[in-house]
Structure 1
Amino acid sequence: MVLSENKTSSKVLIIGAGFSGLATACQLRREHNCDDYVIYDRSPAPGGTWWANKYPGCAVDIPAVFYSLSFAPNPDFSKVYPPQAEILEYFNKVADKFDVSRHIVRSTEWEGAYWQDFTNSWLVKLKDLSTGQTFYQECKILISAVGALVNPNRFGIPGVETFEGDIVHTAAWKADLSLHQKDVIVVGNGCELHFLSLSPKGMSPTVDQVRLLSLFPLLLKKLEASPNLFGYHFSLVQTPQFYLQNENMQIDDRWKFIFRYVPGVLRLLRLIVFLFLESTAVRFNINYKGNKARNLSAERSKAYIQSTAPDDPIVKISSHSIFTKSGQEYPADAILLATGFALTQYEVELVGRNGRTRDEHWGNFGYKEAYKSVAMSGFPNFFYVLGPNSGKGHTSAIYCIENIPANSDTSYVNLVMKAIAPVLQDRASFVEVKPDSEKEYNENLHEKIATTIFNSSCSSYFIDYKSQKNWFIYPWNSFVMWYSTHWGRSDDWTYDARPDKNHRVFSFGHLLLLLALSIIPISFKLSMTVSEKLY
């Protein structure tokens, strides 16, 4: 490969300036006092999905007290489920507080990365989107903090290219979009639709009519055909807000005062929300308790679904109208797409040891995978944040990013921070997960997924269409996630130790170990007790 003269270097390079990138950068500074890092993001501004998604009514669907970084609580959210603008404002405040903003390089796209054995470093190919210029940067540690909820799903209805009005996806909202006196078609049945439907002001009060036309017409029929909901529950898990609407309470100034000035209140509330959300995880298991919990949820939501879910899909589009399967024609001046996202975060070329690509590595497994969602053998010093099988169907994505429990002291660091410590401290030149450990972990993971509803045949982006394997869900509960990422086996990793530099990986005091082992079973029992009472 011919290298560009325009080549710089840094100890750590992070791809993605969303919450994953922000949390990683903050922990580099807090836990390792590392200031030698850079964050690249293709967007004109940081914030990730919270910058990209600006559609009317866009808001978080997890109580904000738990949709925030554990080391940076926010007492000033205006609502239990605050709007997009407040989440983005919180993001930028944290970035400024921890001096992350000056490390972010905007409008720069990641095009590839190549491991260099002779220097034990990564050569990263990047493109400046403002100039079109390609350049390279070297780094010791490469971290992919690329998110998923940014790229719009393709809208492939026949005739779409002939439509003469506006076609706007929620992830590419036009600030100057005018819907005054227009016939508007809204396509989709996901979270974006829920928030659009709650925002008549954002949609414009002068819109003549808004028609909700689902691209997934078999939804209701699958519910009727599946009394235990195995064939249906993916749609419920993906988009609960569409079926069960949340009350979004205002947080008044008295509560904000308490949150800001009374020590421990926000942390206690965070713990309560964590335990409540964790108690709902029982619904995902294929057993008596799981069946009972799902059936109870179905009884509460079935009537709402029947009254709102459309079953006449769009089959064709013309210049000023859309046609459905029944033959009905609807006039249309604008089409708003709430059709979800294309999950393309793993399409960038990644080449590890001996010229082996990520696709070849996954081809050997037969599916997308990573050891504990963060690392792959043959790709030293490369890590994911929110990698394969890191998602949860019932709790906060930021919890998964941090891997820090709701009531923990942030003296603990997440799995990636522990793994890279010897490299950051120049006690090793690389760290790499062992192939046998990677294989064993993924075998156990897919055995566990098989005991949950997440292996359903229902169409879902959780399932890779090539391998038919679930690449998205982390199947164990959040206590297991925390324990396995904080007290992992050090012999799962290989280090190239430098001479005269001894190092110990995951060195914790016996007191902390005994404390963790005593608290976790108690917390887990409490969570399960709450679950049994609820369901």
Structure 2
Amino acid sequence: MGSFESKLPAVVNASTATTNGDDTSYKVLEQPYGTARQIRIVTIGAGASGLNLIKTLRTHMTNYDHVVYEKNPEVGGTWYENRYPGCQCDHPSHNYQFSWRPNPNWTKFSADSTEIQEYLCRLCDEEGMRPEIKLSHEIIRAEWNEDLGEWLLKIKNTITGEVFNDHCNFLLNASGILNNWKWPAITGLHDFKGELVHSASWPENFDYNNKKVVVIGNGSSGVQIVPKIQPHVKELVHVIRSSTWIAPPQTERMLKGNSAEIIQSIKMDGDKFTTEQKDRFKADNDYYRGFIKAVEEQVNARFKAQVDVKTLGEASRKIMVAHMTKALGGNQELMDAMIPKFPVGCRRLTPGVGYLESLGKENIRVVTQGIAKITEKGLELTSGEVVEVDAIICATGFDVSFCPRFPIIGRKGNLQDTWRNGIPSAYMSCAVPNVPNYFVFLGPSAPIGHGSVLTISEHVAKYIVSMLKKCQTEGIKAVQPKEDAVRDFTEHIQAFMPRTSWSGNCRSWYKNGTADGPIIALHPGSRIHWFHMLENFRGEDYEYTLDSNNRFRFLGNGFSVKEAEENPTWYLDTPNKLF
């Protein structure tokens, strides 16, 4: 193929075309309409969202530089960091994958963390993504420069300690939600002389065999750790702060609804797919796609119970109570401690295979009273009882305040201060007022209450990349959402949430670990509602800073880049398609 210019007629005297003959006045931009200017993009994090973004940029954009800074020594994000015993996804494996990277070889219906990490590393290598990624590099400061229209960055090499400068036109935060783990705020925690472990920073050499161990917390991590280590420890003290709903296994839940027929056709060996089943997935693409779509539809349908609390929510509660009662062996003391009074879904449901059954084992003690302090030898409970242990495992979660780890200084100060001092809010979960050319994956009000995060990541990446292309081709130097647009969006969220089970009286990371705080983590609607919302770009909700005094300078020299494409008469192919 020849150059673009060779495919178009010469433009005569275009360089001298002005509005009034004055050389200092407006001049036509000597390029075809649709030309993408060169931009530099920096992404924070090489977890699932960061890797997917690389693919999305390569598929849809040209004329850009891109670097991903990842603080860890390997890609994978939360699946690299979370290696505790029993760690697995709470979502069906074949729907916890990228649509552009299907994997018919998943071992189990819900994959272990190691298999998900292997999937992410494998696609990273096979897609040749590593040249764009700098491992063991952490952004420690970002400041917007209005004159340059750029972010000025400070980067730290976490191996050498070297700090250096970088810059970009667009800063994309793909650092994730459940990524910044934290120790529990318990007096004397670090006075403990035994082994102190956090579930999200699990030491490879930690040996819990034949030891007296305490596990603090019954969120998803605690629920998975307890049954895995229980057979191997001498004694396990499980400290829980509140009750939680434990769902039946995924396969059992999927046997009801639209996916029942195809789920019944799946051949399993225990909790694993048989070789015959995996071969069928690989050989019959229509069957495989049908399986994925049926499961996806079933997962999406669960949102209805979040808003129909009286009918569907009550039906879910009865199912959960029956399941938990049976799994706890009818032990009234454990039932009183474990079965919640708040609505199903107030906290994210955890399948918790084997968890409830393990609580009745002879070597487990469930403690529901608070911890007054940690001593050198163990726990002092609020009753005054001292419980001596060899190791403390804190399955106590993450900082889910959405506050950035490092200063992000936009047009009106540090985003850290803005979100610490008020309710974190973002436009459609991904853009922030007064922080230009900054987009975040899974920010405040994303639809993470149900369904696969990977599918969500794909959609927000397409939305962000569409905005980058708009800026590239329409002479936009900087873009940010309007403050009143975000204010109205937040008002809608706060008015909507009381009608959902998420607003129930439970302590949840949806509310930044509080029981009665505002719901900052969730979208006011279903996943489909969010996907549909992102399809309709509302340019009126954004403020633009142009690189010219004339908003139409990007129209260029009268020609279009489409005239040089392989199908320059595309408009004849789909006459009934809307723009």
TM bucket, shorter chain: 0.7 to 0.9
Instruction: Pick closer, same or farther for the CA change 1:343–1:279 going to 2, 3 Å.
Output: same
Aligned with 1:346 (options 395, 399, 403): 403
Which residue of the partner structure matches residue 456 of structure 2? Answer: 400
Q: Rate the CA distance shift 1:13–1:426 in 2: closer, same or farther, 3 A.
A: farther
Does 1:432 find its partner at 2:489?
A: no
> Does the aligned pair in 2 maintain the 1:452–1:475 contact within 8 Å?
no
2:42 to 2, 8, 13: 13
Partner residue in 2 for 1:210: 236
Q: Is the 8 A contact 1:28 1:34 kept in 2?
A: no
Confirm whether residue 285 of structure 1 aligns to residue 333 of structure 2.
Answer: no
Shift of 1:344: 5.8
**Residue from 291, 298, 306 that aligns with 1:269:** 291
8 A contact 2:373–2:381 mirrored in 1: yes
From the superposition, tell whether residues 158 and 497 of structure 1 become closer, same or farther in structure 2 (CA, over 3 Å): closer
Equivalent residue number for residue 315 of structure 1: 372
Aligned amino acid, residue 490 of structure 1: G
SS state at 2:152 partner:
strand
Q: 1:335 is matched by which residue type in structure 2?
A: I
Residue 27 of structure 1 is matched in structure 2 by: 56
Q: Structure 1 counterpart of 2:307, which letter?
A: N
Change over 3 Å in CA distance of 1:26–1:512 after alignment to 2: farther
In 2, the alpha carbon distance for the partners of 1:161 and 1:374 equals 37
User: 1:155–1:40: structure 2 CA closer, same or farther, 3 Å change rule?
Assistant: same
Structure 1 residue 480 and structure 2 residue 533: aligned?
no
Determine the structure 2 residue equivalent to 1:333.
390
Structure 2 distance, partners of 1:465, 1:332, is: 27
CA contact (8 A) 2:305 2:312 kept: yes
State the shift of 1:425 in Å. 4.3
1:423 corresponds to: 471
Change in Cα spacing, 1:206 to 1:386, as seen in structure 2 (3 Å) is closer
Deviation at 1:48, TM superposition (A): 0.4
* 2: CA distance, partners of 1:159 / 1:375: 40
Note the 1:245-264 alignment, pairs <5 A: 245-246=249-250, 249-264=271-286
The one-letter amino acid of 2:476's match is A
State how far apart, in whole Å, the 2-side matches of 1:450 and 1:29 are.
41
CA RMSD of aligned residues (A): 3.0
Paired with 1:450 and 1:191, the residues of 2 have a C-alpha distance of: 24
Query: How big is each residue's C-alpha offset from its partner over 1:369-390, in whole Å with a ceiling of 9 and x where there is no partner?
Result: 1110111222221101111111
Structure 2 unmatched runs, 5+: 1-37, 252-269, 329-333, 339-358, 360-365, 561-570
> Structure 1 residues 93-102 or 341-350, which shifts more?
341-350
Alignment check: 8 A CA contact 1:107 1:130 kept: yes
2:317 aligned partner, one-letter code:
N
Partners of 1:513 and 1:146 lie apart in 2 by 36
| Distance apart, 1:265 and its partner CA | 3.3
Query: What is the letter of the counterpart of residue 237 of structure 2?
Result: R
CA displacement at 1:431 relative to structure 2:
2.6
Contact 1:10 1:138 in 2 (8 A): no
Corresponding residue for residue 517 of structure 1: none
The equivalent residue for 1:36 is 65
Normalising by the residue count of structure 2, what TM-score does the alignment of the two structures yield? 0.74
1:75 aligns with 2:97: no
Closer/same/farther in 2, CA of residues 512 and 182 from structure 1, 3 Å limit: farther
Q: Which residue of 2 aligns with 1:524?
A: none
What residue in structure 1 maps to residue 435 of structure 2? Answer: 379
Partner of 2:563: none
Q: Determine the C-alpha separation between the residues in 1 that align with 2:131 and 2:297.
A: 36
CA deviation map 1:119-155 (0-9, x unaligned): 1111122212122222221101110111132333323
Distance 2:277 2:40 in 1: 43
Once the 2 structures are TM-superposed, how far is the Cα of residue 349 of structure 1 from its aligned partner? 1.3
SS in 2 for 1:36: strand
Change in 2 beyond 3 A, CA 1:298/1:258: closer
Whole-Å separation in 2 of the counterparts to 1:281 and 1:206: 38
Deviation at 1:197, TM superposition (A): 2.9
- 2:363 aligned residue: none
CA displacement, residues 23-53 of structure 1 (integer Å, 9 cap, x when unaligned): 1111011111466100011111111000001
* In structure 2, C-alpha distance between the alignment counterparts of 1:207 and 1:456, rounded to whole Å: 36
Which residue of 139, 144, 148 maps to 1:110?
A: 139
Kept after mapping to 2: 8 A contact 1:65/1:266: no
Structure 2 residue identity aligned to 1:120: G
Shift of 1:63: 0.4
Q: CA deviation at 1:93?
A: 1.6
AA aligned to 2:235 is Q
- How much has 1:363 moved relative to structure 2? 7.8
Aligned to 1:86: 115
In structure 1, what is the equivalent of residue 94 of structure 2?
65
Please tell me the residue identity of whatever aligns with 2:496. Answer: K
Counterpart position of 2:555: 502
| Structure 1 residue ranges without an equivalent (≥5) | 1-8, 221-234, 405-412, 515-535
Contact 1:181 1:208 in 2 (8 A): yes
- CA drift of 1:206 comes to 4.6
Cα separation, 1, equivalents of 2:540 and 2:104: 41
* 1:199 shift after superposition: 2.3
Deviation of 1:290 (Å): 4.4
Query: Which residue identity lines up with residue 342 of structure 1 in the other structure?
Result: D
Larger Rg: 1 or 2? 2
Counterpart of 1:371, as a letter, is Y
Residue 362 of structure 1: how far off its partner (Å) = 4.8
Contact kept, 8 Å, 2:215 with 2:394, in 1: the verdict is yes
- Tell me which amino acid in the other structure corresponds to 1:281: F
Checking the alignment, whether the CA contact within 8 Å between 1:152 and 1:342 is kept in structure 2 is: yes
SS in 2 for 1:446: helix
Q: Using the alignment, how far apart are the partners of 1:391 and 1:483 within structure 2? A: 12
Match of 2:492 in 1: 444
Which stretch shifts more, 33-42 or 295-304? 295-304
Residue number in structure 1 paired with 2:322: 300
Q: Which residue of 2 aligns with 1:227?
A: none
Query: Are the counterparts in 2 of residues 377 and 433 from structure 1 also a CA contact under 8 Å?
Result: yes
| Range that drifts further, 161-170 or 355-364 | 355-364
Identity %: 25
Moved more, 266-275 or 153-162: 153-162
